[in-house]
Amino acid sequence: MSLLETIHGPRDLDGLTDEQMVELAAEIRRFLVEKVSQTGGHLGPNLGVVELTLALHRVFDSPRDAIVFDTGHQSYVHKLLTGRQDFSELRSRGGLAGYPQRSESEHDIVESSHASSSLSWADGISRAFTLTGHGDRHVVAVVGDGALTGGMTWEALNNISDDNDRRLIIVVNDNGRSYAPTIGGMARFLNSVRTNQKYRDMHLSSAAAFDHFGAPARAFYRGVRGGLHGFLSRFTNNEALYSNLDIKYIGPIDGHDQAAMEEALTQAKNYGAPAIVHAITEKGRGYEPARQDAADQFHAVGHIDPETGEALETATGPGWTSVFADEIVALADTDRRIVGITAAMLRPVGLHRFAEKYPRRVLDVGIAEQHAVASAAGLAFGGLHPVVALYATFINRAFDQVLMDVALHRAGVTFVLDRSGVTGPDGPSHHGIWDLAILQVVPGIRLAAPRDATRLREELREAVAVDDGPTVVRFPKGDVGDDIPAIERLADGVDVLVRAERPDVLIMAVGAMARLGLDVASRLADQGIGATVVDPRWVVPVPRSVIDLAAGHRLVVTLEDGVRVGGIGTRVRQDLRAADVDTAVTELGLPDEFIEHASRGQIFEAAGLTAQDVARDVTAMVLGSKLPVARPEQEAAAQHLRG
């Protein structure tokens, strides 16, 4: 039996010798490479936190002591040490989640995988422990260096320092990168720590690190009130900046030295007040293919050969992100006003090619979506046209800036939302299912959802041509597939994909749901039900021709891969009523729930969004006499639209 197989909970670590801990760390790395190569998942980050996580569970008593991960993609080792060693269905329906999940274990606290929130959680938990008479319990926030670029982190530090009567430990897992290399003034500071010859040449036990590096490093964390830029200049000159932020600093520590990590964490634990432990780690540690991957050190992988790291699955065609990556460069070639902005995800959102060709015109602001959007408003004011590229789930974080900084000021900013709709195995915090409902309430916003690669290129060109308000272009994860031709484009840009002879059902498909709409229409035709299928291309505001088409049909069915509550279907229903069109509307989309990890197909099936389900329900409505028979004026309107 391997050592790992004997670990059923954190306290099983207590009796292991130093030699056994080293062997256990090696076993964990072999386990991660073997299992994650079969399922896909976040490999590099977890290989980098093995000793750190072992030390956490040796020093602290989870779940009595609360451990919060920021972000949760680095929690695989934590799962292994808390009784969850069946990784065979990792990130698949019924298997382990790729992030902490309360339903899996009492050891999991925070499920959200959005960065920079852990210190606020830790602040709240530690205050609650104190106020409820549990002041002897500890709270540990494990935060990546990239998350320290987020504004919430600094807001939390400001408040954590305001009350020292708490047992709160912040572990900075500093590997020089969040997804890709971490950027900004803070990253330069941490890099100066990692690369300083004096500290590389010495053994960084916690005591030695504190003696030799404590004052200037503590000053860095105190710099939140003194100004980061000013602090950095002082640090460069070996001056200590004293301010009110009094959080003990321990480090830097070699995050792969088990004994040193335990020593540092024990010192922080015994301090009895907020403390920072700065651990230097290596993403992808112990796995050569990850270490050689300069782009992201195997941050997240699909199915790979565990020996070589080579992908075992190939895409069937170009992905949505790749199409955008090429088109934004083509647009930038002819329009010097276009600049790109992203939040620590240059390559994942497809801005890397733009940055390679025009490095001064692409800004990576770190994990700081709010800053990215407000800064974009300023860039627009200065005469440029910013393209802010984010995952759809992360636009939620910057809604106020979209509303008050961009829209209120009628700033010409384009938002490109990758991974919109159902993303699948990453689970509830990564699905991009809220953007349609959230963003359509913004006054003056224009929102496009392309159905294929050609429409993505078209709609992106149209979006960056708008300079009097925000525009949005959203698309899903994965392969883009073949183009879906239209049989006609109406005067306001709406594409008619199928035209029915009988004015029974109008199917309005949002973006990538066009394929589903076509399949449904075919099935309805087999039942003698006429279905017209349209892709509005720009779904907000609702095009006038969609309203006119709806007036000529007995039923409107809207299909969207966002939540149906407050979604595009709701907007269509409201606009029809405002136009005195009384055609019935069925709004089909995703439920207003946090959807667990599963494949895209499984999630659509559970939501009743398969062609069979939709066609069956629509057939029941039409043939079950639940709808009025088409009136003469409807027939006339339909005939007019058919030309």
Residue of 51, 262, 369, 560 marked active site: 369
Q: Three-state DSSP class for 41? A: strand
Instruction: Report d(CA 630, CA 622) in Å as an integer.
Output: 11
Across 364-383, average pLDDT: 95
Nearest to 98 by CA among 146, 142, 143, 43: 43
In whole angstroms, give the CA distance from residue 48 to residue 256.
8
Mean pLDDT of the chain: 86
Query: pLDDT at residue 632 above 80?
Result: no
H or E segment and range at residue 547 = helix 544-551
Which of 30-39, 93-102, 364-373, 375-384: highest mean pLDDT? 375-384
Active-site choice (79, 248, 283, 455)? 283
The answer to whether 418 touches 411, Cβ cutoff 8 Å, is: no
Domains 4-291 and 494-641 share a fold: yes
Q: Higher confidence at residue 303 or residue 551?
A: 551
Q: Binding-site residues for thiamine diphosphate, please?
A: 73, 113-115, 146-147, 175, 287, 369
Please pick, among 79, 137, 234, 397, the residue that the annotation labels catalytic.
Answer: 397
**Lowest pLDDT segment from 224-238, 284-298, 373-387, 512-526:** 224-238
Among 95-104, 268-277, 285-294, whose mean pLDDT is lowest? 285-294
Find the angle CA(471)-CA(477)-CA(479) to the nearest 5 degrees: 115
pLDDT at residue 86 in the model? 92
Can you list the positions of beta strands (E) in 268-336? 275-280
Question: Once rounded to an integer, what is the mean pLDDT over residues 9-35?
Answer: 94
Q: Take residue 64 and report the two structure tokens written for it.
A: 């009595």
Which pLDDT value is given to residue 295? 65
Predicted local distance difference test score (pLDDT) of residue 625: 58
pLDDT at residue 309, rounded to an integer: 79
Token readout for 170 is: 């912040």
494-641 architecture in CATH? 3-Layer(aba) Sandwich (3.40)
The residue type of 97 is: A
Residue 232 has pLDDT above 50, yes or no: no
Pick the range with the lowest mean pLDDT from 76-80, 150-154, 581-585: 150-154
Distance separating alpha carbons of residues 328 and 318, to the nearest angstrom: 15
Give dist(CA 36, CA 338) in Å, integer. 39
| pLDDT band of 240, cuts 50, 70, 90 | very low
In the predicted structure, residue 27 carries a pLDDT above the cut 50: yes
Does the pLDDT of residue 228 top 50, yes or no?
no
* pLDDT value of residue 376: 98
Residue 239 banded pLDDT, cuts 50, 70, 90: very low
Rounded Cα distance, 399 and 405, in Å: 10
Question: Which region, left, alpha or beta, applies to residue 176 given φ > 0 means left and ψ of -120 to 50 means alpha?
Answer: left
Cα dihedral sign, 462-464-467-470:
positive
Instruction: Identify the helix (H) or strand (E) that includes residue 604.
Output: helix 600-606
- pLDDT score for 453: 97
Enter the DSSP assignment of 12: G
Per-residue pLDDT at 145: 67
Query: Which of 115-119, 302-306, 508-512 is the most confident on average?
Result: 508-512
**Backbone φ/ψ region at 615: left (φ over 0), alpha (ψ -120 to 50), beta:** alpha
- Smallest CA-to-CA distance from 354 within 389, 391, 320, 319 is with 389
pLDDT at 216 over 50: no
The yes-or-no answer on residue 239 being catalytic is no
**Binding site feature residues:** 73, 113-115, 145-147, 175, 287, 369
**Which CATH number does the domain 320-474 belong to among 3.30.365.10, 3.30.930.10, 3.40.50.450, 3.40.50.970?**
3.40.50.970
On whether the CB atoms of residues 126 and 132 are closer than 8 A, the answer is no
Q: Does 199 have pLDDT greater than 50? A: no
Q: How far apart are CA 567 and CA 170, in angstroms?
A: 40
pLDDT-based confidence at 206, cuts 50/70/90?
A: very low
Quick one: average pLDDT of 314-321?
A: 80
pLDDT of residue 65 exceeding 60, the answer is: yes
Topology classification of domain 4-291 = Rossmann fold (3.40.50)
Q: How confident is the model at residue 299 (pLDDT cuts 50, 70, 90)?
A: confident
Report d(CA 510, CA 546) in Å as an integer: 12
626 is annotated as an active-site residue: no
pLDDT at 639: 52
At 125 the pLDDT is: 96
Least confident range from 145-154, 570-579, 620-629: namely 620-629
pLDDT of 203: 37
pLDDT tens-digit map of 142-158: 998 678 788 888 889 88
Q: Is the pLDDT of residue 636 over 70?
A: no
Q: Per-residue pLDDT averaged across 97-102, rounded? A: 89
Closest alpha carbon to 511 in 607, 397, 586, 418: 418
In which band, very low, low, confident or very high, does the pLDDT at 557 lie, cut at 50, 70 and 90? very high
Give the residue-averaged pLDDT of 239-244: 34
Distance between CA atoms of residues 416 and 394, nearest Å: 11
Residue 291's SS3 state is helix
Beta strands in 229-351 (DSSP E): 248-254, 275-280, 338-342
Instruction: Return the residue matching tokens 């899996």.
Output: 104
Helix (H, G, I), strand (E, B) or coil at 25: helix
- Antiparallel, parallel or unpaired: β 531-535 and 495-498: antiparallel
The domain segmentation of the chain, as residue ranges, is 4-291, 320-474, 494-641
560 is catalytic: no
- Residues making up the binding site for Mg(2+): 145, 175
Query: What is the CA angle 104-106-107, rounded to 5?
Result: 95
Integer-rounded Cα Rg, in Å, for the chain is 27
